[in-house]
Amino acid sequence: MKIITFNKNFQQEIVDVLHDVLNTEWGSYIDKKKDPDLFNIKGYYLNSGGNFWIGLGEDNSIVGTIAIKMFDLNSKKIGYLKRFYLKKNYRGSGLGKKLIETVIKFCKKKGIGEIVLGTNPESKRAIRFFKKAGFYNFEMYNSLPTFGDKIFMKKIFKKKAGAHKETPAKLPM
């Protein structure tokens, strides 16, 4: 299994795989009105400063996805985790952990100090997974979209000691 960044050649396969996962597990579907991001991944995720990753199986078919969209909140960047899906037979394989680690590494490299996400109470396995990855429940910021989700979680990164230290101004004597 390997993880690659979004490539437009995979655009339709992404839609097909996510449609299959949502339909099989939740009785839901994908369409352009309610899921415009999937039909313009570059414009929605990449142009915000975020990214979209694809997990590929041994046969190079898509078996998982994860994305991060950037939002400005009170003059700080927040990463909004979206489109984290794995085909059922790849859950527990370590791919989910690799995908979330990819997002965290990306955010840290970009100086993003916080990732938020939304999910629903029915997604018990996902909630356990996110808690294990260091996310905790919180009340969503009013200025960010909820995308119809009911449970919100976030992970804040600690600044390393000595990072971004301000030097006090010297006062004239």
Is there a domain that residue 170 lies in? no
Distances (CA, A) of 31 to 11, 38, 39, 54: 14, 9, 9, 20
Residue 44 CB: number of other CB atoms within 10 A? 18
Full domain range(s) for residue 103: 2-156
Tell me which amino acid residue 82 is.
K
Residues of the chain with pLDDT > 70: what percent? 91
Nearest alpha carbon to residue 104 among 132, 131, 68: 68
pLDDT by residue (tens digit) across 95-144? Answer: 999 999 999 999 999 999 899 999 999 999 999 999 999 999 999 888 88
| Whole-number pLDDT of residue 23 | 86
- Report field, pTM of the whole predicted structure over 0.85: yes
In total, how many domains does the chain have?
A: 1
pLDDT of the residue at 143? 85
What pLDDT sits at residue 70?
95
What's the pLDDT score for residue 169? 35
Instruction: State the CB neighbour count (10 A cutoff) for residue 40.
Output: 13
Asked whether residue 119 is domain-assigned, the answer is: yes
- CATH code at 125? 3.40.630.30
Q: What is the pLDDT of residue 165?
A: 39
| Structural domain includes residue 106 | yes
pLDDT at 26: 80
Query: What residues of the chain score a pLDDT lower than 70?
Result: 159-173
Q: In the sheet that 2-5 helps form, which strands lie side by side, from edge to edge?
A: 2-5, 51-56, 62-73, 76-86, 114-119, 151-156, 136-137
pLDDT of residue 67: 98
